[in-house]
Structure 1
Amino acid sequence: MDPPRPFIIGGERRTSSRAADVIFPYDGSTVARVALAGAGDMDDAVRSAGTGAAEMARLSSGARSAVLERMASLIEACADRFAETIVLEAGKTTSMARTEVDRAAATLRIASEEARRLGGEIVDLDWTRSGEGCIGVYRRFPVGIVLAITPFNFPLSTVCHKLGPALAAGNAVIVRPSTKAPLSALALGECALEAGCPSAAVSVVPSSTGDAERLAGDPRIGLLSFTGSPEVGWHLKGVAGRTRVTLEHGGNASVIIEPDADLARAAERCVQGGFANAGQVCLSVQRIFLHVSVYDEGLGLIVDGARELTVGDPRDHATGIGPMISEAAAGAAETAVREAIDAGARCECGGTRQGTLFAPTVLTETDSSMRVNAEEIFAPVITITPYDGFDEALTLANASPFGLQQSIFTRDIGSVARAFGQSHAGTVIVNDTAFRVDQMPYGGSGASGLGREGPRYAIDEMTESRLLVTRDPDLGS
């Protein structure tokens, strides 16, 4: 067996006595082994990042922009290899993996652009007599060290959404990727070094949960940026103490389909939004509310669409849905579906699994207390519920502790305005589902987390404001 792949600390490749197997979710074969950083390695990463943060802060915005542009080009030059890696470590279909690679490069280019826009503003201070003769200059400065903890489901693009803005803002970054899918993050770290990023400013450290938790509690960290489950995220927020934190936890996104909607398109987008990547997407469609006047037709279209999807080997171009990340994850989804059926829900299609393969599942006659509605299932499972009036639909959609995305299919601008005004979600989408382009502000409310991603908005989170006040000496005090 090949030796474990090393991790990166400040440009240095290291191994250790501990390693983790990276498993191909489809068949359980071992793709690679990666060395795990220990507590001492983590401390070295923070000390290196302290040096790297000072180096990054001294770089011009143009130099930081150029590094990120070169990183994007390196990803594109190795696109096939990155895509193959994503398929093997995360179980994504080939088409989804290629899309992720394209998005990762685009995200770094957006961050490259934003690195040049780290401006400030002039603040008028002479509103009162005490401020006469004074001028304020307001700017943002890097927080120093960004700790990025990332999940398995987007092993490249999620890292880019944290590393790109961190470097653009002039920070050093320590990436702790999921040990289920760390290979893309390690390759991205190599790209950063090859692109000319100061070596001390980049570390990629797969590690145990305990060592990652200790790192999150290190007071030298300037910002913890976490994407993952609410349970882990809120726990890490407590561990982080006074350190600034951004959390992206996903949700159980809702869709309202009004009677004036293009029903065929709405159904197609719900199928895509609910079952892509086997439902393992933070903004995956989970709860659909269909107006009673179009309920039967809409339900039929969605069920037909789900049944048309091919579940299987993600390397096969005919496959529409690949495996879930592990048998444990698939088993948990199966249990939640079985609980709902036992409590009175009706399974219109799916509900079965073979190992890590979980059939696209549509449930009806559910209620809000069932886990398939109340929690983030993170599996290819959607529920469909009829409603009579738009106010009822909004109430049902908002009856969730999560608040990441909410969709509405309608041609009525008044309904759009009401949904936008009354939604509890961070994003309201009209006539589409599970929508994200990489420059937009992305994040939610409630159990869905804190803060926003998207390079411009992440840079705001990864910097702190400072005000310079100057007084005209000729005007006295």
Structure 2
Amino acid sequence: MNNYGLYVGGEWVDTEQRFDVLDRYTGKPFVTISQASKEHVDLAVQSARRSFNEVKLSPHERYEVLSKLSHLVRENAETLAETLVREVGKPIKEARLEVKGVAGNYEVLAEEAKRITGEMVPVEANPGSENRMAFTLRVPVGIVCAIAPFNYPLSLMTSKVGAAIAAGNTVVLKPTQQSPVTACQLMELILQAGLPPEHAQLVLGSGSTVGEWLLQNPDINFYSLTGSTEVGEHITRTIGLRRCAMELGSNAAVIVHKDADVKKAAIACAQRGFYNAGQVCISIQRIYVHKDVQEEFIEEATRYAESLVLGNPMEETTTLGPMISEKEVRRVAEWVEEAVKQGAKVVTGGKPQGERFYLPTILTNVKPDMKVVCEEVFGPLVVIDTYEDFEDAIKATNNSIYGLQAGVFTQDIDLAMKAAREIECGGVMINDTAYYKVRNMPYGGMKLSGFGKEGGKYAIREMTEEKIIVLNL
């Protein structure tokens, strides 16, 4: 069985302690990964600091590395996609789309590496400062620790690592134990692209050990996490005053008004509720439909849900793959059973299929305090509730501890703008679901969905410091 090692101090390192990575469809190991010790973690950070201090890449050099990396991702697209299928369980067509997006993201970040600018500050407008001139510079923060989750391991690692490189930082990659292989393959491509050998480090191991050692290392300047709210809270408590960007939990809502294209909205919500088996931070979970179009919406959403094909995610015909673990299947099943006992109605699905799949599920007659409504399901489940007054739909959307993104389907521009202003989320998508994200837009949440932004220049801004320069002429 193939083993992937750590990359620390400019070289690949195998360790005696190894961890089995499971094929999500078969449930059997398909590769092993080496596990880092505290000494490996400390060496990785020391190496990253040394490279940051001694090797400075110009904006054009960063552009060249990231452009080459985009090209290499495209050259190795099918290998990366097949790895995603095995370690995550997503269907091969979805995996190919993730890889395609990653290549495009490196292109965007390559261009942004050449566009990092400050601004003029009119200090001369202040009495006594008439002979002064001021401007700002943006400079790298130093070492970035990139922590990525299991569901989009390649895409989310790219958002962090690519931005860190573009900004002129060095970076330590820490993938999840559940899907670390694409991060190992990405590390190989990063080196092939010409990044200085100690500018990036890869450490492998559990969050409770390797993750903790990274948090406790005082020489790391910035932490970028995509993960649960609980992990985000732990990180912010541990790292103190050091900077970070936290992209955390969500239970994304969509409002479908009576003037919307109901069929289009229903299919879009179902697609984005069950994509990647619902294991996406902006996966559609709560849908508020105007009572006048409820029946049509449920009918269309149900038709789509029941058309999905569960099976081997490596097969082209499969449209819904397994969940990340049997434990997660059992958890979703327990939440649905609890909701049904509390009065929810199962329209379709509502049960596991085997040990690793959960049927795409639609629930109605739900209440705000049910787990399937107020917590993050992270599984192939959507709940549908109704409203009469648009104001009530906005209030229901905001009745959440989370605030990542939301969607609104309406042809009324006044209602659309009202929603845009009043919905408490980092992004509001009009005539689309909450599940919309492109590479050059700011992406991040409010409330317990976190803080800080990813995406193009917005991520680079997070990973740089602003300096004021004042000239006394």
Q: What range is the shorter-chain TM-score in? A: over 0.9
Q: In the alignment, is residue 435 of structure 1 matched against residue 433 of structure 2?
A: no
Q: In the alignment, is residue 281 of structure 1 matched against residue 276 of structure 2?
A: no
- Secondary structure of the equivalent of 2:285? strand
Structure 2 residue identity aligned to 1:13: W
Structure 2 residue identity aligned to 1:290: V
Which residue matches 1:193?
Answer: 191
Which residue matches 1:475?
Answer: none
Shift of 1:408: 0.6
Shift of 1:266: 0.3
Q: What does 1:56-455 align with in structure 2 at a 5 Å threshold?
A: 58-209=56-207, 210-353=209-352, 354-433=354-433, 434-455=435-456
Q: Gaps spanning 5+ residues in structure 1: where? A: 473-477
- Secondary structure of the equivalent of 1:131? coil
- Secondary structure of the equivalent of 1:397? helix
- Structure 2 length-normalised TM: 0.98
- Secondary structure of the equivalent of 1:64? helix
Shift of 1:10: 3.5
Whether the 8 Å contact between 1:20 and 1:34 is mirrored in structure 2 is yes
Deviation per CA, 1:257-315, whole angstroms, max 9, x where unpaired? 11110011001101111000000011000000110101111111111111111112111
Shift of 1:137: 1.9
Whether the 8 Å contact between 1:250 and 1:282 is mirrored in structure 2 is yes
The 10-residue stretch of structure 1 (110-119 or 46-55) with the greater mean CA deviation from structure 2: 46-55
Shift of 1:239: 0.9
Shift of 1:130: 2.2
Percent identity over paired residues:
39
* Aligned counterparts of 2:86 and 2:105: Cα–Cα separation in 1: 22
Whether the 8 Å contact between 2:60 and 2:114 is mirrored in structure 1 is yes
Whether the 8 Å contact between 1:55 and 1:198 is mirrored in structure 2 is no
Deviation per CA, 1:129-182, whole angstroms, max 9, x where unpaired? 221211112011000000001001111111110000100000000010011111
Shift of 1:85: 0.7
Shift of 1:55: 4.3
- Secondary structure of the equivalent of 1:199? coil
- Secondary structure of the equivalent of 1:156? helix
* Aligned counterparts of 1:292 and 1:231: Cα–Cα separation in 2: 36
RMSD of aligned residue pairs (Cα, Å): 1.0
Shift of 1:410: 0.7
Structure 2 residue identity aligned to 1:180: Q
Whether the 8 Å contact between 1:65 and 1:168 is mirrored in structure 2 is yes
Whether the 8 Å contact between 2:163 and 2:460 is mirrored in structure 1 is yes
Structure 2 residue identity aligned to 1:314: P
Which residue matches 2:462?
Answer: 461
- Secondary structure of the equivalent of 2:124? coil
* Aligned counterparts of 1:125 and 1:405: Cα–Cα separation in 2: 38
The 10-residue stretch of structure 1 (300-309 or 140-149) with the greater mean CA deviation from structure 2: 300-309
Q: What does 1:39-58 align with in structure 2 at a 5 Å threshold?
A: 39-55=38-54, 58=56
* Aligned counterparts of 1:338 and 1:18: Cα–Cα separation in 2: 40
* Aligned counterparts of 2:292 and 2:103: Cα–Cα separation in 1: 44
* Aligned counterparts of 2:161 and 2:437: Cα–Cα separation in 1: 18
Shift of 1:47: 0.2
Structure 2 residue identity aligned to 1:394: I
- Secondary structure of the equivalent of 1:37? coil
Q: Residues 55 and 432 (structure 1 numbering): CA distance in 2 closer, same or farther, change over 3 Å?
A: farther
The 10-residue stretch of structure 1 (238-247 or 164-173) with the greater mean CA deviation from structure 2: 238-247
Structure 1 residue identity aligned to 2:21: V
Whether the 8 Å contact between 2:263 and 2:296 is mirrored in structure 1 is no
Structure 2 residue identity aligned to 1:19: R
Which residue matches 2:7?
Answer: 8
- Structure 1 length-normalised TM: 0.97
* Aligned counterparts of 1:184 and 1:211: Cα–Cα separation in 2: 18
Whether the 8 Å contact between 1:85 and 1:183 is mirrored in structure 2 is yes
* Aligned counterparts of 1:92 and 1:30: Cα–Cα separation in 2: 17
Whether the 8 Å contact between 1:164 and 1:455 is mirrored in structure 2 is no
Shift of 1:225: 0.3
Whether the 8 Å contact between 1:11 and 1:193 is mirrored in structure 2 is no
* Aligned counterparts of 1:19 and 1:342: Cα–Cα separation in 2: 43
Structure 2 residue identity aligned to 1:204: L
Q: Gaps spanning 5+ residues in structure 2: where? A: none
Shift of 1:455: 2.0
- Secondary structure of the equivalent of 1:59? coil
* Aligned counterparts of 2:93 and 2:51: Cα–Cα separation in 1: 36
* Aligned counterparts of 2:54 and 2:431: Cα–Cα separation in 1: 46
* Aligned counterparts of 1:295 and 1:424: Cα–Cα separation in 2: 24
Shift of 1:17: 2.1
Deviation per CA, 1:67-124, whole angstroms, max 9, x where unpaired? 0000110110111111111111111100110000011111111110000001222222
Shift of 1:441: 0.5
- Secondary structure of the equivalent of 1:65? helix
* Aligned counterparts of 2:54 and 2:193: Cα–Cα separation in 1: 15
* Aligned counterparts of 1:109 and 1:449: Cα–Cα separation in 2: 27
